[in-house]
A and B are shown apart, each in its own frame.
Chain A
Amino acid sequence: MIRLSVPFRQALSRLTLPVMLVLSLGAVLIGRADQGLADRLRGVLDDVLAPAYALVTAPVVALEHGSGVVGHLFSLEAQNQQLRAETAKLLQWQSVAMALEAQNDALKTALNYTPSPMPVFFTANVVADLGGIYARSVLVSLPPGLTQSGANVVGAIAMDGRGVAGRVVEAGDRSARVLLITDLNSRIPVALGVHGLPALMAGTNGADPSLLYWAPGKPPAEGDMVLTSAEGGVFPPGLPVGVVHYDAQNDPVVLPLADIDGLRMVRLFCYPSNQPVLAPEHDTPRTAAKSHRKH
């Protein structure tokens, strides 16, 4: 260890705070200059933290699910019987479903039906609540081997059992961050009621997102169902979001169907990115010119 003189050490200890302050200001500047840096750092941190959070969260979940793990052991036999009965019933339904699917396919072929994109979906555990005072997001742990399968997790839609909870904004190898629909930055095109009137659902940092930009003269009606709309090409159409409610006159909000504050498990729907693009692609002529020049 290096021996330093006392005055020098004192000066050094006095300098640490200003030096750290300058470094932090530098971090702010770098963060402003390179917006992706913070996202990459967050991805790395989330990947490190997700397994640890999963470990800590597991006992919490175990405690929640029906008063202890030991209690379940006594009812194992009864549960097995019940599951066997359910499996038998479901197998019958499976054959019915297969017959119906075949019939459905035949009918679709006859109608020249264009299928809507099929999402790849998987279940993810919510392991941590990573909001701030101006942000609402949760950390989910991804099943292993997902990135190898080539699924594009960023942009995936997170739903709990009942409705849309949010969208994945960042994803690492083992974890992903879901921006909840209540977040200030969340903007979701929605369709209201049976006629599918367009509007925009904007997060307000509170419990209920508000509705903006609905068609003039056609205000959303109390109790209207709110579904996602494909406008903008980010969300697939027809996913349930919530119900219209009026807190005050001329101020419609959406009561989300998803249990935003108590998310434990979400399904992430990864939609294929080869959906038809409505905007003209600017890159095509340039690449064509480049390849032309090469030849």
Chain B
Amino acid sequence: MVRRASVRRDMNIWRRLDMASRYVWPAAFTISGLLLIGVPLGLPGLAALRPAYVMACVYFWSLYRPVSMPAPVVALTGLLLDLLGMSPLGMWAVLLLLLQGATLVSRRRLVTWSFKLNWTAFSGFAAVVSLLAWGLQSALELRALPWLPLVVQMFMAFGVYPLLAWIFIKAHRGAAAVELA
């Protein structure tokens, strides 16, 4: 009994709060970042970064801490992305959930991979999702959208992942680590 008490520290309110804040860190970061990208800093085309950013968030956290990136949060993020941008309602929610599903299915293999391999895997996933987004939006709006932004988005996803992963790996070991609370 005594030993057990020493292993399980008492759950006082502060520890609970600490755990909760660590638990919601990935979702909070994803959504607040999504909103902050809109602040006009005078950089042209900054808003086009949103889908690439969200895909990187969903991929990373579904891979390393799926408990902190539950499906409802992913769906909500997708809806927010659709409402902020002018894409058809619910389209990005579907695509992000598909991305999460694909990541979760191949998770056991991906977790063991090195960073560079994961980067490649994410770029592949992001390219497929971007292509699907292009196809879906073209179909829903009944016209062929230009393909150049699609290529730009693929490169953005490729470029933004290392930077985000650098932040996320630190958070994974610190600010978002529920087990350290």
Contacts and interface: CB of A to CB of B under 8 A. Distances in A.
Interface stretch (B108-116, B121-129, B145-153, B170-178): B145-153
Interface size class of B (residues with CB under 8 A): 35 or more
A278 interface: no
Interface stretch (A3-11, A34-42, A154-162): A34-42
Contact of B83 (A41, A53, A138, A261): A41
B140 A32 contact: yes
B22 interface: no
A23 B97 CA distance: 11
A268 to B, nearest CB: 17
Given A21-B101, A25-B94, A205-B149, A261 B44 contact: yes
A26 B75 CA distance: 12
Interface in A1-34: 16-17, 19-21, 23-28, 30-32
A38 B83 contact: yes
B112 to A, nearest CB: 22
Contacts of A27: 79, 89-90, 93
Nearest to B79: A27
B147 to A, nearest CB: 11
Given A16-B70, A41-B89, A56-B39, A24 B97 contact: yes
Interface residues of A, number: 48
Given A17-B97, A28-B90, A130 B84 contact: yes
A209 to B, nearest CB: 13
A134 B39 contact: no
A82 to B, nearest CB: 28
A49 B36 CA distance: 11
A139 interface: yes
B78 A24 contact: yes
Contact of B71 (A17, A45, A130): A17
Contacts of B38: 53, 128-130, 139
Given A27-B90, A128-B38, A17 B44 contact: no
Interface string A123-136: 00011111111110
B57 interface: no
Interface string B60-104: 000000000011101100111011111111110110011011001
